[in-house]
Amino acid sequence: MVYVGLISFALTFLALIVGTVFAVIGLSRKETSLSPLTFNAAVAAFALHTVAILAMVLLQITEDYSVAYVADVINPAMPMILKITALWGAMAGSLFFWSWILHLVMLTALVNKKKLLDNWSFLVIGVTNLFFAAITLFIENPFAQIWELVDGNIVAYLLSPEAGAVITKVSGVGLNPLLRHPGMIIHPPLLYVGFALFLVPFAVAVSQLIRKTADDALLDQTRSWIIGAWVFLTAGLALGSWWSYGVLGWGGYWAWDPVETASLLPWLTGTALLHSLLLERHRGIFRHFNLALVLSTWFLVVFSIFVTRSGLISSVHAFGESGISRMLLVFTVALFVVCLGLLIWRWKSLTTPWEFKSAFDREALFLYTNVILIAIVVACLWGLLFPLLNGAITGTQMALDLSFFQNTTAPLFILLVLLLAVCPLVGWSIASLKRIGKLAWIPLGVAVLLTAGTALLGLTKLWTFVGIFIVALGLSVLIMLTIRDAVATKSGFGKMVWKQRARYGAYLVHTGVLLIALGITGVHTLSNEVEAHFAVGDRMPFGQYEVVFDKVTEAFENPEYLTAKAQLTIYRNGAEVVKLYPAQHIYSERNQTISIPAMQSTARGDLYTNLIAYTADADGDFAVVTVIDNPLVNWMWVGALLMVLGGLLALSLTPKASKRLEAAPELLNGQETVQEK
Partner 1 sequence: MKKKPNHKFIIGGVVIAAALMYLLISSTISGSQYFMTVEELQTQKAEYVGKNVRMSGSVLGDTIQYEPKTLSLTFEVAQIPGDHKLIQQMGGMAKVLEDAAADPNAPRMTIHYTGAKPDLLQPAAQAIVSGSLDANGVFQATELLLKCPSKYESALPKQAE
Residues that bind partner 1 (CB under 8 A): 68, 71-72, 139, 141, 144, 146, 154-158, 173, 178, 249, 311-312, 314, 316, 320-323, 353-357, 359, 371, 375, 378-379, 382, 386-387, 396-405, 407-408, 411-412, 531, 533, 591-595, 612-615, 622, 624, 626
Give the shortest CB-171-to-partner 1 separation in angstroms. 12
Q: Between residues 293 and 644, which has the closer beta carbon with respect to partner 1?
A: 293
Q: Between residues 38 and 322, which has the closer beta carbon with respect to partner 1?
A: 322
CA terminus-to-terminus distance, the chain: 52
Whole-angstrom CA distances from 408 to 102, 372, 386 are 34, 11, 14
Give the shortest CB-388-to-partner 1 separation in angstroms. 10
Q: Between residues 329 and 455, which has the closer beta carbon with respect to partner 1?
A: 329
Give the shortest CB-255-to-partner 1 separation in angstroms. 10
Whole-angstrom CA distances from 478 to 440, 506, 525 are 11, 10, 25
Report how far residue 42's alpha carbon sits from residue 494's, in angstroms, rounded to the nearest whole number.
43
58 class by beta-carbon count within 10 Å (0-12 exposed, 13-18 middle, 19+ buried): middle
* 179 contacts 240 by C-beta, under 8 angstroms: no
Bridge partner residues of 592 (DSSP): 587
Q: Between residues 74 and 264, which has the closer beta carbon with respect to partner 1?
A: 74
Q: Between residues 228 and 249, which has the closer beta carbon with respect to partner 1?
A: 249
User: How many Cβ atoms sit within 10 Å of the Cβ of residue 479?
Assistant: 15
Q: Between residues 31 and 529, which has the closer beta carbon with respect to partner 1?
A: 529
Bridge partner residues of 552 (DSSP): 566
* Short-list 476, 485, 518, CA closest to 504: 485
User: How many Cβ atoms sit within 10 Å of the Cβ of residue 671?
Assistant: 13
DSSP assignment of 184-205 equals HHHHHHHHHHHHHHTHHHHHHH
Give the shortest CB-144-to-partner 1 separation in angstroms. 6
Q: Which long-range contacts (CB under 8 A, 24 or more apart) does 411-415 make?
A: 412/372, 412/375, 412/376, 412/379, 413/376, 414/466, 414/470, 415/372
Give the shortest CB-207-to-partner 1 separation in angstroms. 29
Give the shortest CB-110-to-partner 1 separation in angstroms. 33
Q: Within a 13 Å sphere around the CA of 21, how many CA atoms are in the beta-carbon half?
A: 7
Report how far residue 559's alpha carbon sits from residue 118's, in angstroms, rounded to the nearest whole number.
55
Give the shortest CB-485-to-partner 1 separation in angstroms. 32
Give the shortest CB-397-to-partner 1 separation in angstroms. 4
Dihedral of the CA atoms 304, 307, 308, 310 (nearest 10)? 130
- Say what angle helices 402-422 and 362-394 make with each other, to 10 degrees: 170
Q: Between residues 68 and 425, which has the closer beta carbon with respect to partner 1?
A: 68
Give the shortest CB-624-to-partner 1 separation in angstroms. 6
Q: Between residues 397 and 573, which has the closer beta carbon with respect to partner 1?
A: 397
Q: Between residues 68 and 210, which has the closer beta carbon with respect to partner 1?
A: 68
